Amino acid sequence: MNSTTAEADAAYCLDQVRRFDRDRYLTALFVAPQARADLMALYAFNLEVAKTREMVREPMMGLVRLQWWRDCIAEIYTGSERRHQVAQPLAAAVRRHRLSREHFDRLIDAREQDMSPEPPVDLPALVAYTDATAGNLGLLAVEVLDGRGTRPPGACPDVALAPAASGVWTAHALTGLLRAVPHHARQHRIYLPQSLLTKHQVAPRELLDLRSRPGLAAVARGIAEEAERLLDESGRIVARPPKPLLPAFLPATLAHAYLRQLRRAGYDLFDSRLQELPPGRIWRLLFASLRGRV
């Protein structure tokens, strides 16, 4: 691949993340240029698999598309790569940082749940889904930032960093799913746990009316409290992440802002204020970066 093509691919990844994954784009601004480009490739890959359900009419076609990415990842680890604007920058990042294949495989496998019309059975099932998707993405981000590619084989960072990072990214994903309830409802997709909906007497079909229902705020509160618990637990494990890894923990700063926004809205998931991004996100991230904690 010539340098012109590589530059075009990198620009494509950056543009996709900047447009469709603004939170991760902002956190990556606090990373050195080469690692930032590798993160953009990683986040662009995540966008490719995350948008699968929205791109297909039939769930079976979504499974086919996920299999294409599963095969693509397998080929990267056997030394070959497909011509794709995301696949080739991703392959370069995998080689440069010796990224763990199992994180990619778990992420793609979990995305198969997007093809099901059924909501998660309960809150643990929802947390497991967000951990397998966003959590594994967070672990890959840590691998990009921790100098893994320059370490001797077998060397690894503090093992406590993995659950802490995974918890932060899982919590951020939970807040994102809450804020996206109106968007998913328009597509007849529901990510709120069935057990919580049943407990608070909310019928899934009622969400499709795009209006608040009695009990829905209690459902949202239960999920938000789980996100808060994950953030608190991660903070206890790693109060001050190592400086090179701090950008991988910055999503916690944004998750805290979204949770405050939810509380102010009374956990009304159809409150229009929840569709407004909290002001000053970049300044919040800058302050967290300067003080060395999230």
Contact partners, residue 193, CB within 8 Å, separation at least 6 = 119, 120, 121, 122, 123, 125, 126, 219, 223
205, pLDDT greater than 60: yes
| 144 CB burial (10 A radius; 0-12, 13-18, 19+) | buried
Contact partners, residue 65, CB within 8 Å, separation at least 6 = 52, 55, 56
Identify whether the C-beta of residue 43 lies closer than 8 Å to the C-beta of residue 17: yes
Q: State the Cα–Cα distance between residues 45 and 39, nearest whole angstrom.
A: 10
Domain ranges of the chain: 1-101, 117-294
Level-2 CATH architecture, domain 117-294? Orthogonal Bundle (1.10)
Closest CA to 113 of 96, 98, 133, 97: 133
Contact partners, residue 232, CB within 8 Å, separation at least 6 = none
pLDDT (tens digit, 9 = 90+) per residue, 96-152? 999 999 999 999 999 999 999 899 999 999 999 999 999 999 999 999 998 765 555
Q: Out of 157-171, 217-231, 239-253, give the one with best mean pLDDT.
A: 217-231
